[in-house]
Amino acid sequence: MQLTVWTYEGPPHVGAMRVATGMKGLHYVLHAPQGDTYADLLFTMIERRAERPPVTYTTFQARDLGGDTAELFKTAAREAYERFRPQAIIVGASCTAELIQDDPGGLAKALDLPVPVVPLELPSYQRKENWGAAETFYQLVRALAGPADRKGQPRGAREPGRRPRCNLLGPTALGFRHRDDVAEVTKLLVRLGVDVNVVAPLGATPADFARLGEADFNVVLYPEVAHTAAQWLQRTFGQPATKTVPIGVGATREFVAEVAQLAGIDASAVLDGASPSRAPWYSKSVDSTYLTGKRVFVFGDATHAVAAARVATHEMGFTVVGLGTYSREFAREIRAAAALYGVEPLITDDYLEVEAKVAELQPELVLGTQMERHIAKRLGIPCAVISAPVHVQDFPARYSPQMGFEGANVLFDTWVHPLMMGLEEHLLGMFRGDFEFHEDAAPSHLGRGAPAARGEPSPTHAADDMAAPAAAPPGASQTTAQALWTAEAERELKKIPFFVRGKARRNTERFAVERGLSTITLDTLYDAKAHFSPR
Amino acid sequence: MSAVIALQPVGDGCVDAPVLRERGQREVFCGLTGIIWLHRKIQDAFFLIVGSRTCAHLMQSAAGVMIFAEPRFGTAIIDERDLAGLADCNAELDHVVARLLERRPGIRMLFLVGSCPSEVIKLDLSRAAQRLNARFAPAVRVLNYSGSGIETTFTQGEDACLAALAAELPAAPAGAAPSLLVVGTLADVVEDQFARLFAQLDVGPVRFFPPRRAGELPAIGPNTRFLLAQPFLADTARALEARGAQRLAAPFPLGIEGTTAWLRAAADLFGVGAERFERVTAPGRERAAAALARHRPRLEGKRIFFFPDSQLEVPLARFLARELGMRLVEVGTPYLHRQHLAEELAWLPAGTALSEGQDVERQLDRCRAARPDLVVCGLGLANPLEAEGMTTKWAIELVFTPIHGYDQAGDLAELFTRPLVRRDLLAAA
């Protein structure tokens, strides 16, 4: 058993729902207890979809367990077919139904419905949402992809005069910015002279799947969802797949080059000349100089985390001090990226572990998920969201891709925005004791120093007298270490701008401990500063 | 036209009315969601769900942005190792609880909350609670109840929790003076209002259940009379009755009529005279009447359809029909407790279509065919129905908003006028 406060991913059947809800003409019959319909509101509220997800739940209750839950499932499946008349059906079990072992796949087969029925085996007690989405997509592709006569045939050369075409694989319902990423990447491909054959699962019908094999190659937008399916398509239809995810200007250019190579076309029109993105100039302009070396912590799904670390380092001039993911399936990618930046990879789905790491590293900016927003808020650190899980505010009305050249513009604005406020606060560090703008008005009893003074001091938390241990996360200065500080040094420490103060405190204490100093004086503070200053 | 309905004489209403009982897909929350408000009400309690990732995901999706600090609930997620052998499962649970109590030393009461997976594998949480009690008492009291979807629907989670807590209430000394217990979670502000009214009526002593802190459990005994503040407390009432307490029959304190009759039930118990009752309740009634008069023109004659959700549907429908002149197309409820709702049913307009349970597709068919002016439903249905051109009021808000008592009557009406006002505003643009 694992104690969980927040979870980064839902159960695997939610991943299957994301595939089904993204598609058209597909229905999902889910064997699940009453109450599991909560998942509908992920789609109707968070993503604000205007129709119900195409999911029929059996919603069995305790009284049904004594009876025939298998019959209940068959009735639900039959009625769902009659009412919705889908082109294909997927059937599966949620975690509780998995325990009662009714075999939805076998039961649905026995109904002999006139459409393809794809059974899903999603082990709820081992796997999670993204795996569920990937497995569902893979099973659907396996069952439905065509044309049949192309299967296993070697790929011939493209007929002369026909434009190259590709599939876009991976976008789903409830995906972080999937809607606009698809639009942006499609735009980019059209500029390159590449046609989009099928986008799947988002917006595709089972009938569209039958055309997947007609494309010359596949563009894998979200490896978490599409990697397994793309591999199968490569084996079956000989379609190569892209490996670069076009998030950030550098990655987008690399992606364009990769597509050009796969399509056998010339991409110089897109790659040469002025950058189609404003982000490089914005980042080069002197107003951005202060971004140099800002210490960032990056966490999210592996794809977005790896992409963000690259953009942060090479396009924003930040220093990545921590990099992690909750996607265990892609731990290798994160380890490789972490090695590039010389940081320890953090591979965990334990929210408390991530919180401890952020507290320990004391970054100036956190790029993470909805959960890191909670952590950053508590620690008083600026934060921007780069990955699912996200809440309703990250399904915006406006066009906001993460991918492509426009996506790079969005990234620049989004990441710098919380820091701009940080710069304002910098002035607070210079001119203290202003009657209006005094940052130390906040409770310092939380043991985190001034950062908590910023923004909302989180009243729920401040009032929560039971949160004491959580409020002093590991890595924050401990009372024993604090006792070492002379009053004068402590006062001087407070003159350091708040967003680097935590780091300064930690470094100084480390410096003192390493040298066996019993007290930290003004001189120790500045000795440590000199010791740790970048050379 | 609606005045006809509002002015109908009080007859038997719907006491013996037929009820459409349906079984099929139910679009409702499970009882775990009760934790979202209970963990705030009992401030030093922690709710540990023993369940799956689905349970954890449900809680975090349902609690949404409301909870930014570390909440006082969590999930012990069962994994495949636990499924391999149950003995191991108990040891794992003990370990999780020990870690939790270490992290949150302020906890005085710990609820082990059962879920569908824990019920299906028959993990005995009551034995676990006993075992943990032996280890952590008296600092922490460990209780258990089930909030599983297979057993409970939405607000029934509170019922299961309070029923478990009822068994823990200290016994009132023999020969104790008659006392009143108000049962069911109320917003703090509402609780305070009722406490003031009871004080002015000289009704007392009055205690509220659940209490705001684990250490403030009210005593209970044969001289305790209790008033249900919420309609979904069947098991809690039974548990209290098993302790000798007796329920005062009353409608629920929603709207002017409901609140008045509810207070009257308490006043009768303590022999409060009619004149005093009038004097004490008059200001509240007048304020509420003025507030409702502002909303009545918007709602009068409008047709409303209730999907089942919280069991509050019948009292709400009664209030909307009688005090605001709305017409009831269908009143759906997850469970209909005829005894607790007897007074409410008597007040419902005769001929109201009542339904218990759900087959959501068929109910949607009926709703679409009826084209009501306002649909009360859950969040899984609200936006899709709005997109079909219907106006909806999402039902969960009725559980998370102070709606009881005189001074909330206007707010309660406003919850129903707001979507209609909004629709007009947007249409005018």
Q: What is the pLDDT of residues B285-328, one digit of tens each?
A: 999 999 999 999 999 999 999 999 999 999 999 999 999 999 99
Q: In Å, how far is A466's CA from the nearest CA of chain B? A: 5
Do B357 and B336 contact (CB within 8 A), yes or no? no
At residue A502 the predicted structure's pLDDT band, cuts being 50, 70 and 90, is confident
> Across residues A245-272, what is the average pLDDT?
95
Contacts of A52 in chain B (CB under 8 A): 380-381, 384
What pLDDT score was predicted for residue A479?
42
How many helices and strands (H and E) does chain A possess?
A: 24, 13
What pLDDT score was predicted for residue A475?
40
**What pTM, to 2 d.p., does this model score?**
0.90
- Specify the pairing of strand A217-220 against strand B303-306: unpaired
Instruction: Indicate the SS3 state at residue A459.
Output: helix
| Token pair in block for residue A324 | 């992690």
> What is the overall mean pLDDT for chain B?
93
pLDDT exceeds 80 at position A198 = yes
pLDDT exceeds 70 at position B193 = yes
What pLDDT score was predicted for residue A535?
54
Do A203 and A179 contact (CB within 8 A), yes or no? no
Told to judge if A527 belongs to the known catalytic residues of this protein, a careful annotator would answer no
What's phi and psi for B345, nearest 5 deg?
Answer: -65, -35
Sheet holding B392-394, edge to edge: B19-23, B354-358, B327-333, B303-306, B374-377, B392-394
DSSP string, B183-227: ES---HHHHHHHHHHHHHHT---EEEES-SSGGGPPPB-TTEEEE
Distance CA A417, CA A415 (A): 6
A465 to B106: CB separation less than 8 angstroms, yes or no: yes
What pLDDT score was predicted for residue A500?
76
Report CA A303 to chain centroid distance, whole Å. 7
B151 to A52: CB separation less than 8 angstroms, yes or no: no
Selecting among A287, A434, A464, A523, the annotated active-site residue is A287
Contacts of A45 in chain B (CB under 8 A): 379, 383
Contacts of A2 in chain B (CB under 8 A): 76-77, 79, 96
pLDDT digits (tens, 9 = 90+) for A172-185: 999 999 999 999 99
| Token pair in block for residue B194 | 């009722």
pLDDT digits (tens, 9 = 90+) for A519-528: 898 888 888 8
> Across residues B203-229, what is the average pLDDT?
95
Q: In Å, how far is A379's CA from the nearest CA of chain B? A: 11
Residue among A117, A116, A120 nearest A103 (CA) = A120
- Provide the β-strand partners of residue A3: B76
Q: How many CB atoms lie within 10 A of CB B88?
A: 13
Nearest residue of chain B to residue A40 (CA atoms): B380
| Token pair in block for residue B395 | 């039902």
What pLDDT score was predicted for residue A92?
97
pLDDT digits (tens, 9 = 90+) for A404-446: 999 999 999 999 988 865 556 566 666 665 555 555 433 322 2
Instruction: Identify which of B44, B77, B153 has the shortest CB distance to residue A466.
Output: B44
Report CA B361 to chain centroid distance, whole Å. 25
Distance CA A408, CA A410 (A): 5
> Across residues B20-48, what is the average pLDDT?
94
Do A165 and A214 contact (CB within 8 A), yes or no? yes
pLDDT exceeds 50 at position B331 = yes
Higher per-residue confidence, A489 vs B157: B157
Instruction: Identify which of A4, A40, A60 has the shortest CB distance to residue B150.
Output: A60
Extended strands (E) in A260-392: 295-300, 319-325, 345-347, 365-368, 383-385
- Specify the pairing of strand B179-183 against strand B224-228: parallel
Extended strands (E) in B210-364: 224-228, 246-247, 303-306, 327-333, 354-358
Q: What angle do CA A190, A191, A196 make, to 5 degrees?
A: 15
How many angstroms separate the Cα of A453 from the Cα of each of A295, A359, A377, A432, B80? 20, 16, 11, 14, 44
Contacts of B54 in chain A (CB under 8 A): 10-11, 13-14, 36, 94-96, 124
pLDDT exceeds 90 at position A140 = yes
Least confident of A107-116, A269-278, B388-397: A269-278
Distance CA A154, CA B181 (A): 79
H or E segment at A197?
A: strand A195-200
Q: In Å, how far is B316's CA from the nearest CA of chain A? A: 23
How many angstroms separate the Cα of A385 from the Cα of each of A301, A402, B255, B292? 11, 11, 44, 44
Q: In Å, how far is A388's CA from the nearest CA of chain B? A: 13
What pLDDT score was predicted for residue A468?
34
pLDDT exceeds 70 at position B177 = yes
What pLDDT score was predicted for residue B123?
93
A3 to B76: CB separation less than 8 angstroms, yes or no: yes
H or E segment at B84?
A: helix B80-84
| Token pair in block for residue B337 | 């407790």
Q: What is the DSSP letter of B237?
A: H
ipTM: 0.93
Residue among B310, B307, B356, B302 nearest B328 (CA) = B302
Structure-derived torsion over alpha carbons of residues B152, B157, B161, B166, reported in degrees to the nearest 10: -70
Nearest residue of chain B to residue A473 (CA atoms): B103
pLDDT exceeds 80 at position A381 = yes
A461 to B29: CB separation less than 8 angstroms, yes or no: no
> Across residues A10-32, what is the average pLDDT?
98
H or E segment at A352?
A: helix A351-361
User: Up-side HSE of residue A210: CA atoms within 13 Å toward CB?
Assistant: 9
Distance CA B89, CA B18 (A): 47
At residue B152 the predicted structure's pLDDT band, cuts being 50, 70 and 90, is very high
